[in-house]
Amino acid sequence: MGKDKYQDISDKDLLQRFWQTQNNEWLGILLQRYTLLLFGVCMKYLKDENDARDCVQQIFLKVIQEAGKYKIDYFKSWLYMVAKNQCLTLLRDKKARLLWS
């Protein structure tokens, strides 16, 4: 057996299973699949390993809260946009704090 027993299941099928069952385990498998991508996106924007790790955790929480609300055709693209927006929000907040301190 391979290292990932779900590797043969497409993102679309995993999403379908999540929507049908509302079981976050299916989302967890998808998020695990793209953890390195998320970390890379966060590093690109935040340029700090600890900030990037924190941001990935925030993205996980956001995806768990939001995935049931949208019709997602391409999970990887949607996840990338969520990650990018989360990073830009953090950068904007950080900049605002610097301006007001």
For the chain, what are the domain ranges? 11-100
Q: Kindly report, residue by residue over 21-56, the tens digit of the pLDDT.
A: 999 999 999 999 999 999 999 999 999 999 999 999
Contact indicator for 58, 86 with CB cutoff of 8 Å: yes
Query: What per-residue confidence (pLDDT) applies to 44?
Result: 97
**How far are the Cα atoms of 9, 51, 69, 84 from residue 39, in angstroms, in the given order?**
23, 10, 24, 11
Report how far residue 38's alpha carbon sits from residue 46's, in angstroms, rounded to the nearest whole number. 12
Query: What per-residue confidence (pLDDT) applies to 29?
Result: 95
Position 100 pLDDT exceeds 70: yes
Select the CATH number that applies to the domain covering 11-100 from these four: 2.40.160.20, 3.50.50.60, 3.40.50.410, 1.10.1740.10. 1.10.1740.10
Report how far residue 37's alpha carbon sits from residue 57's, in angstroms, rounded to the nearest whole number. 13
